[in-house]
Amino acid sequence: MKKEHKEIIAGSVAALIIIVLIGFVSFEKLGTFNFVKAGIGFAQIQFTDTDYVEIQKSPRIVLVKDETDSHEEFMAMLESEGYDYDYEAQMGSSHTFKKGGETQHVISHHNGYFTRWTWDE
Q: What is the pLDDT of residue 121?
A: 67
- Is-contact 99 86, C-beta < 8 A? no
Alpha helices per DSSP H over 1-121: 3-30, 35-47, 68-80
Q: Mean pLDDT, to the nearest integer, of 89-117? A: 85
- Is-contact 62 55, C-beta < 8 A? yes
Mean pLDDT of the chain: 85
Share of the chain above pLDDT 90, in %: 7
pTM: 0.74
Question: From CA 29, how far away is CA 15, in angstroms rounded?
Answer: 21
Q: What is the pLDDT of residue 68?
A: 62
31-83 pLDDT, tens digit each: 788 888 888 988 998 899 888 899 988 888 988 887 766 677 778 888 888 88
Q: What is the pLDDT of residue 1?
A: 67
Q: Which residues contact 112 (CB under 8 A, 6 or more apart)?
A: 66
